[in-house]
């Protein structure tokens, strides 16, 4: 998994509107990248909505925000429109980005093992250096966790 001190990985993928998003576009800005397992599921909705509800505060702190999951563009668009998110959601169907960040891992649920996205938030400085990794994301307190120093 990406760690504090690591450089923002190069990536390019489509957002919920089918527009290309490139990691290079975020250099020069403080960036929050949060990975969630699946659009429109209870935990992911709680996390994304908490971040959206606190968007202005996060923006005042200078953060750019982007959510990423392996859902297709269509699912990201539905999720984005349903809740009116003020930040982009990236569709990583190829799992290229989740693998670069190291959040595609073996998970266990109800006695079954499977590969999936581990809910994780990464915070980068203006130079694209990772300054914080939040591994134990509290879905209903995601924004306050980001704002903790």
Give the C-alpha separation, 77 to 73, whole Å: 6
Residue in 60, 39, 57, 61 with CA at minimum distance from that of residue 48? 39
Please, how many CA atoms are within 13 Å of residue 5, restricted to the half-sphere of its CB?
0
Give the C-alpha separation, 9 to 86, whole Å: 23
**104-to-94, 114, 118 alpha-carbon distances in Å:** 11, 10, 6
- Predicted local distance difference test score (pLDDT) of residue 109: 84
44 among known catalytic residues? yes
- Predicted local distance difference test score (pLDDT) of residue 113: 95
Q: Is the pTM of this model over 0.75?
A: yes
pLDDT tens by residue, 56-106? 999 999 999 999 999 999 999 999 999 999 999 999 999 999 999 999 999
Binned at pLDDT 50, 70 and 90, residue 52 comes out as: very high
Mean pLDDT, the chain, integer: 96
Instruction: Inform me whether the pLDDT recorded for 149 exceeds 80.
Output: no
Residue 65 contacts residue 58 (beta carbons within 8 Å): yes
- Predicted local distance difference test score (pLDDT) of residue 2: 97
Give the C-alpha separation, 23 to 38, whole Å: 21
Interval 29-53 mean pLDDT: 97
Catalytic residue chosen out of the listed positions 2, 21, 31, 44: 44
- Predicted local distance difference test score (pLDDT) of residue 79: 98
């Amino acid at each position: 998994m990406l760690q504090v001190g690591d450089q923002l990985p190069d990536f390019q993928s489509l957002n919920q509107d089918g527009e290309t998003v490139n990691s290079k576009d975020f250099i020069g800005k403080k960036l929050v990248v949060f990975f969630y397992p699946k659009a429109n599921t209870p935990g992911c909705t709680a996390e994304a909505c908490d971040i959206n509800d606190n968007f202005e505060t996060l923006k005042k702190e200078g953060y750019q925000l982007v959510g990423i999951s392996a859902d297709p563009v269509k699912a990201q668009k539905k999720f984005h429109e349903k809740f009116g998110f003020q930040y982009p959601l990236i569709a990583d169907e190829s799992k290229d980005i989740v693998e670069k960040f190291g959040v595609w891992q073996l998970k266990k649920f109800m006695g079954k093992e499977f590969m999936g996205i581990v809910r994780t938030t990464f915070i980068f400085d203006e130079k694209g250096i990772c300054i914080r990794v939040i591994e134990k994301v509290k879905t209903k307190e995601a924004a306050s966790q980001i704002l903790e120093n």
